[in-house]
Amino acid sequence: MKIGILTGGGDVPGLNPCIKEVVHRAIDAGHEVLGIRRGWAGLLYYDVHDSGDQPDWVRPLTKANVRTVDRTGGTFLHTSRTNPARVRVSDLPARLKVDYPEGSDKRVDCTPHVLEVIKHLGIDVLAPIGGDDTLSYGVRMHTEGIPVVGIPKTMDNDVYGTDYCIGFSTAVSRSVDLIHGLRTPAGSHERIAVIELFGRNSGESTLISAYLSDADRALIAEVPFEIQRLAELVTSDRNENPSRYAIVVVSEGATMLGGNILEAGTEDAYGHRKLGGIGLQVGDALKQITGVNILNQSLGYLMRAGPPDSLDRMVAHSYANLAVDLILAGDTGQMVSLQNGVYTAVPMDSVSKSPRRVDVEELYDAENYRPKIAHQMGKPMFLY
């Protein structure tokens, strides 16, 4: 059997250990693994008419060439947000572009080409590692008759059907450390620190990071906030702090009451524009209302930088082994998952059934903009 593995969307710590474990398990069982590079772009840009090797897009993976990859973060296969079902004409491979007029802004479904490439490469099973966008095209492959086993990753931890995604623990750990570190300049200069974290639609990473770092206030994507109310709360927090500072953690997808999500640029292949800027907006408004100087910091890519922590390594290894178990058993069309602390699998199309969001009633004080644990009994490890 020949297994094709790829990573799509944003990088997270834990991808390389997961890939390495899939390679070792598959080879020990007598099978081959092809590394598809740059996410779904590897299959989109591979040219079936080129008789030579195309290592920029696909390369065999062996125990030798994955030996050290687990020591670093990110993905050595590289990644992209390519969606072969919605490719701009300007982004098409040259061979496919000739069928369309120059300058066309049309989006093209290149799935027939992808299926041709899969057949040409002799791939028997696909193992995409990604969030709901990347895995949604995995669902498309499944409906087209390609055996698929998906592996969830995202530091937002918002893939439906699993309690845990590779990358979440490390992102929270990084954020907590950095938030605590920013207490030093905030306290030294007696400022209000406004710290923006990644998190498009789900505020879980912001909520848990704020909870574990004991931030004064947390603004999450699920609950619009009123800036005057926030200013009053943060002023009180600062006045009650002997070091005369306060910490506000903001999800990049948070919105002011009556406002809109701050987005910029053009839509990507999955219909998303780039988020960011709400932290600066909040900081400017707080300074105008309170008169206190602001320390603005976006943690951004620092949340996903560097090697994985031990929990993400454990889950990456376990998901890899579970994925290969399913592949060897011929039980495809599944996504590996964790539910109630137990490794299991769910149908691939679970990723598109419902968005995963913070349970505001159970976990958030919407009046005072801070984490609130209504009760602990029966909660999963990450409360979510």
Catalytic residues: 156
3-state secondary structure 36-58: ECCCCHHHHHCCCCCCCCCCCCE
Q: Which DSSP letter does residue 272 get?
A: P
Task: Tell me the two tokens of residue 300.
Answer: 């951004």
Q: What CA–CA distance (Å, rounded) separates 158 from 204?
A: 8
Q: What CA–CA distance (Å, rounded) separates 315 from 308?
A: 10
Q: What CA–CA distance (Å, rounded) separates 356 from 334?
A: 18
How far from 239 is each of 216, 233, 242, 285, 294, CA to CA, in Å?
A: 12, 10, 8, 18, 15
Q: What CA–CA distance (Å, rounded) separates 318 from 324?
A: 10
Strand pairing category for 107-108 and 87-88: antiparallel
Across-strand partners of 219? 250
Instruction: Work out the number of other CB atoms within 10 angstroms of the CB of residue 232.
Output: 13
The single residue listed with the structure tokens 């009046």 is 367
